Amino acid sequence: MGAPVARAMSIIDSLGRARWNPEAALRLAGLLRLMDATTGVPDITVALVDGPIAVAHPDFATENRRVLPGRPNATCTRPESLACSHGTYVAGLLHAKRDSLIPGICPGCTLLARPIFSEAGEMSENDGLPNAAVEELSAALHEVIEAGARVINLSVGMAESSVRAAPAIDLALERAARRGVLVVAAAGNQGTLGSSAITRHPWVIPVVACDCDGQALASSNLGVSIGRHGLTAPGQDITSLAASGGHAKFSGSSAAVPFVSGTIALLWSIFPRASAAQLRVAVSGNPTRRRSVTPPLLDAWAAYQALASTNTGVRAA
């Protein structure tokens, strides 16, 4: 097993009510009208490469969910573990029932979970977040691509620079690009200027977390590749599902990523004939026109309008 280089990218804040409610976050991202149009369709599979999920949570949509085994002991048997908490939280943003306290963005789509963080796994010395080896992350990416993922949600990031990490990750991301599988990844929460083997890849859409005013959090990583190819999305005090059965409030880019991956899943559900390249441009715009290290704010409804003007193959919601 190689050195741990991939880690979860949320900052666990607290349990309880959010300072701004779920509807406000969805409105900021332009998602409310899009979510009214569709819950997503099972043909669109969103892969979650993260921690194990507490699938028995009563607020999860019970249909259209698949789990790939992943690493040993990658099951949610200890709801208090950070691996389980992180995986369940991110999954809830995507796949919670629409009539729950925290409505999921695309519960009608298929959720494909491939755990890489184990409850008994290693933790980062700096922030106590779960870690996995680059080999595990690379293997997971290949597996979900082969399993039919259309979108990959990576609420994870590179915990350290590694000369061994870049080739393995590049190979997996190149495969995603060839297959037309969109990859949405956390920019990270170290407050640094730069990129990683994940966020610098031109096929990846990096996501920066913002506050309720749409301003990037001070903890968010920024950089040339992040600004050029990425997006900003709500990531402060975002409430989702807790592995214990209640609700949890996190801050960080892990919380922001599902807003983007969920948007793509809903758009592909409505416009099944759209190509991956068309989806990228509609959601994140033209990267050649960007000069800022801070990416623009996600506008899901504007992306819908852009696709509607160029696509005739619309599926009934």
Per-residue pLDDT reduced to its tens digit, 182-238: 999 999 999 999 889 999 999 999 999 999 999 999 999 999 999 999 999 999 999
Where residue 316 falls among pLDDT bands split at 50, 70, 90? Answer: very low
Residue 134 has pLDDT above 60, yes or no: yes
Lowest mean pLDDT among 14-23, 43-52, 95-104, 146-155: 14-23
One-letter identity of residue 16: G
pLDDT in tens, 228-273: 999 999 999 999 999 999 999 999 999 999 999 999 999 999 999 9
Give yes or no for a contact between 189 and 84, defined as CB atoms under 8 angstroms apart: no
Give 100 or 42, the one with higher predicted confidence.
Answer: 42
Residue ranges with strand state E in the chain: 4-8, 11-15, 45-50, 65-67, 110-115, 131-133, 151-154, 156-158, 182-186, 204-210, 231-234, 238-241, 247-251
* Distance of alpha carbon 294 from alpha carbon 187, whole angstroms: 11
Residue 281 has pLDDT above 90, yes or no: yes
pLDDT in tens, 156-183: 877 655 556 678 899 999 999 999 999 9
pLDDT of residue 114: 95
Count Cβ atoms within 10 A of the Cβ of residue 207 and give its class: 0-12 exposed, 13-18 middle, 19 or more buried. Answer: buried
pLDDT in tens, 96-113: 999 988 899 999 999 999
Residue 312 has pLDDT above 60, yes or no: no
Mean pLDDT over residues 79-92, rounded? 92
* Distance of alpha carbon 261 from alpha carbon 223, whole angstroms: 21
Residue 19 has pLDDT above 70, yes or no: no
pLDDT of residue 15: 38
Report how far apart, in Å, the C-alpha atoms of 140 and of each of 51, 69, 115, 255, 258 are.
12, 10, 8, 20, 18
Q: Considering the chain, what percentage of its residues have pLDDT values greater than 70? A: 84
Decide: pTM greater than 0.75.
Answer: yes
pLDDT of residue 286: 78
Work out the mean pLDDT of the chain and round it to a whole number. Answer: 87
Return the CATH superfamily for domain 4-308: Peptidase S8/S53 domain (3.40.50.200)
pLDDT of residue 16: 36
